Structure 1
Amino acid sequence: MTSQQSPQVNGLQRAKHFWRNFSRRLPRLRPPEFATFWNGPLDSLTYSCLASFPYYGARLRLYTYAADIDVPDGVEIADARSICRDETLVGRYIADGRVSDAKFSNLFRYEMIQQTGSCWVDTDIICLRKPDFSNEAFVFGRQLDPSDASSINNAVLKLPKDHRIVADLVDRAKASVDLDQLWGVIGPTLLTEMTKVHGLDAQARDIPHFYPIVFDHFWKPLLPDYRRAVDKATHDATFLHLWHEFFRRSSYDKSACAPVGSFFHDMCRRVGTFDRFSHVYEAGELRTVLSGWIRDDADRETDTGVTDLK
């Protein structure tokens, strides 16, 4: 090795040295109650969801393969290699014909639970109040009617790390590498199946606890017309799932904050992340963007008493 190295090589070595030292300290750290994973830089919308956890006093750890990632104050960073050493697996999980970080995160969450026992939360989960699952062994909830094959979602998931269901989830997720499968096959569909196999499906919390807004109404927290409906739906909820996959499918711009008067807009103001957005959608503009998805206007209020920021 020569004494003269490129800045890129030196930077890579410094990053690797940082993560090695950080990883050595991890076993001595008390595992947080909540943990999640993210690949790449954080968009403003995801950043805001993460910020909601420390806002309510919930300890959250973000696992990542990135050496430099900007996270909200109070969110811990951890090297994802401490859970899954082979970061090439991120690009080998495929859903509906495309590489899916979300599908890989199913493997990661099952392995994280197996190693740490922490409660997993997706990065599109908004914390609505201080949760405390420290004395509960099983934490997961329904997103759909019990008769549905994907009834139980794994966006919020805590399991005893030595329970056989965890090993089965890990094995099934590992077997899906390089396979092009439908969205959710090793997520809600697998968890619903495995909870039945292990006689745990009765442990699932009812829909309003974690998924008070169903996925095909993902747009309601974004529009001021539905503010009262969302407030009512989330009144007793611990979390709100934003369904990021549908943000992607609908072409929602995550660098833009939702319109003034919407549930999400006020949440960003509350947790202090509003200034991270490049601009704010106007209500009419966003309704046009989401027009192909808005199917139920029963909860719409035409007089919200708010105006758009200019």
Structure 2
Amino acid sequence: MDLNRRPVASLWIGESLQYLNQLCLKSHLKHGHPVTLYCTDKVTNAPEGVVVKPATDIMEIPMDIVEATSASFLSNVFRYKMIQQTGAVWIDCDAFCHKPFPDEWEHIYAGHGMRGALNCGVVGIPQKGELMDQLLDYYDNLPDFPPWWNDRQKRRMGRQDSNLPLAVRIYKTERTAFGPQAFTHFARQTGDIDKAMTSDVLYPVPFQLNDIFYDPHGRVEGWFTDDTVSVHLYTNGTKPWWRKNAPLENSYAWRMCQEVGITPEDALE
């Protein structure tokens, strides 16, 4: 396998990958991207060719905060610190590589779903610059409230348990306050939102329709364009049945597993 394209990387909190995560990581290898998976635990079922490293190579992961929020919560901080330190493109573990990322792309991010806010499931930004500085300052020096919140959101946070850490209270008020909300806000502040790609490039299928990936009669590719390079599978929104059972024959998830060489039955939830 000739891994001569730009590196990509992700974070995994837990002891084992599920088949969709294996599929997505391996799909980047298939297109020539070196893949690094930073892990909090000893993960033994990463696809061959994926370089597994401790998450502490980038930053400490406070597991008490993770347990009070979600496994993906700290990834919102981790991704920018990783990009700053390594220059790799961030990929969520449920982002499938449809085509390789062109080497000349410096800004890799796009809106998603039916609302248009930027998603941060796939992110490439300059290691140095105003956008990076503002994102890391936000995470490293959390304000009492995210600066874009309205009075209703602030009142809702005021009803949270004051004994909880500030980050947890913000998360419990607005789950996406550390992810898409923050990325969209600071990209607007710096003007980098103008460099955003259209949704078909990275998130061709709207989040609201994520079960189409498991429908044997669905036409997932009907959402794709010639510009599509990544396909987000939205595992956080997937019905539990699909995580506990192999995908149905001829569904997109099944076909991609066949194409990339992943056996779903070996890595179910």
Could you say whether these structures have the same fold, taking a TM-score greater than 0.5 normalized by the shorter chain as the test? Answer: yes
Which residue of 1 is the match for residue 64 of structure 2?
Answer: 91
**CA–CA separation in structure 1 for the residues paired with 2:121 and 2:216:** 26
What is the number of equivalent residue pairs in this alignment?
A: 237
1:163 corresponds in structure 2 to 129
Residue 80 of structure 1, CA deviation: 1.0
For residues 256-298 of structure 1, the C-alpha deviation after alignment (integer angstroms, 9 at most, x for no partner) is 221011111000011110254478xxxxxxxxxxxxxxxxxxx
Letter in 1 for 2:231: L
Specify the code of the residue in structure 1 equivalent to 2:236.
E
- The alignment's TM-score, normalised by the length of structure 1, stands at 0.71
Contact 2:89 2:123 in 1 (8 A): yes
Residue 37 of structure 2 corresponds to 62
SS at match of 1:70: coil
Residue type of the alignment partner of 1:117:
G
Identify the residue that residue 51 of structure 2 maps to in structure 1: 76
| Contact 1:31–1:118 (8 Å) recurs in 2 | no
Where does residue 257 of structure 1 map in the other structure?
Answer: 246
1:135 is displaced (CA, Å) by: 2.2
For 1:42, the aligned partner's letter is L
- How big is the shift at 1:255? 4.0
Higher relative contact order (CA closer than 8 Å, sequence separation 6+): 2
Is residue 100 from structure 1 mapped to residue 70 from structure 2 by the alignment?
yes
> 1:276 and 1:54, CA in 2 relative to 1: closer, same or farther beyond 3 A?
farther
Alignment of 1:120-139 (within 5 A): 120-132=90-102, 134-139=103-108
C-alpha RMSD of matched pairs (Å) = 2.2
Q: Name the structure 2 match of 1:25.
A: none
Could you state the TM-score of these two structures normalised by the residue count of structure 2? 0.81
Q: Structure 1 CA distance, aligned partners of 2:139 and 2:85? A: 15
Matched, 1:231 2:231: no
Which residues of structure 2 form unaligned runs of 5+? 143-165
In the superposition, relative to structure 1, how do residues 193 and 81 fare at CA in structure 2: closer, same or farther (>3 Å)?
same
* Partner Cα separation in structure 2 for residue 275 and residue 192 of structure 1: 35
Please give the per-residue CA displacement for 1:180-208, whole angstroms capped at 9, x wherever unaligned.
42221111111111111001111000011
Structure 2 partner of 1:153 = 119
8 Å CA contact 2:17, 2:267 repeated in 1: no
Calculate percent identity across the aligned residue pairs.
23
Runs of 4 or more above 6 Å deviation: none
- 1:113 alignment partner, SS class: helix
> Is the counterpart of residue 192 in structure 1 residue 161 in structure 2?
no
Task: Tell me if structure 1 keeps the 8 A contact 2:19–2:264.
Answer: no
In 1, distance between residues paired with 2:136 and 2:29? Answer: 29
What is the CA–CA distance in structure 2 between the aligned matches of 1:221 and 1:235, rounded to whole Å? 17
SS state at 1:51 partner: helix
Assess if the C-alpha contact under 8 Å between 2:89 and 2:122 holds in 1.
yes
**In structure 2, what is the equivalent of residue 304 of structure 1?**
none
Q: Give the counterpart of 2:233 among 242, 248, 255.
A: 242
Greater Rg, structure 1 or structure 2? 1
Which ranges of structure 1 fall in alignment gaps of 5 or more residues? 1-29, 280-310
Aligned to 2:9, what secondary structure does the other structure show? Answer: strand
Distance in 1 separating the partners of 2:129 and 2:66:
25
In the TM superposition, what is the alpha-carbon distance from 1:58 to its structure 2 partner? 1.7
